[in-house]
Amino acid sequence: MAKDDYDLIVFKVLTYIYAVTKRKISFNKDVFDKTIGMQHIDEVYFYYVLYLMKTENLIADVTVVKVWGNDYVLISDLSEMRITAEGIHYLKDNSFMKKARDFILENTPADLIVSLIRMIF
């Protein structure tokens, strides 16, 4: 699974903001970027993923708009992003999310995302 795989990004975003929702951690942009692996993800692609997540009602309180061509921009603060009830169920019940979780647990050295997985699952 590539570091910029759609399902892997969705899993990490939902896991992070679910941990924030459960008050296990406070949102921190630098920690979020490191946890998601933003150094490996094209920024416009990441915004497109967020756009799709919002369209699928997995997240709320984040605004991403298509500006031209295939370019998307974030016009809200990521710290305001929330997971929806549908996002929680998707994170826990979707087979692609289970594959992403298992991939991370098997292939990632102990870091924040592994700790967050263990906290909320």
Per-residue pLDDT of the chain (121 residues; tens, 9 = 90+): 667 789 999 999 999 999 999 999 999 999 999 999 999 999 999 999 999 999 999 999 999 998 888 889 999 999 999 999 999 999 999 999 999 898 888 887 777 788 888 877 7
CATH topology of domain 6-120: Arc Repressor Mutant, subunit A (1.10.10)
Q: What is the pLDDT of residue 1?
A: 60
Q: What is the pLDDT of residue 115?
A: 83
The DSSP bridge partners found for residue 59 are 83
The DSSP bridge partners found for residue 68 are 71
Q: Which two tokens stand for residue 108?
A: 């990632």
The one-letter amino acid code at 88 reads I
Q: What is the pLDDT of residue 89?
A: 96
Helices (H) and strands (E) in the chain, counts: 6, 4
Buried b (16+ CB within 10 A) or exposed e, 10-43: bbbbbbbbbbbbeeebebeeeebeebbbbeebee
In whole angstroms, what is the distance from residue 80 CA to residue 63 CA? 10
DSSP-derived pairing of the beta strands 71-74 and 82-83: unpaired
Q: What is the pLDDT of residue 112?
A: 77
Q: What is the pTM of this model?
A: 0.89
| Contact by Cβ (8 Å): 51, 13 | no
Q: What is the pLDDT of residue 117?
A: 82
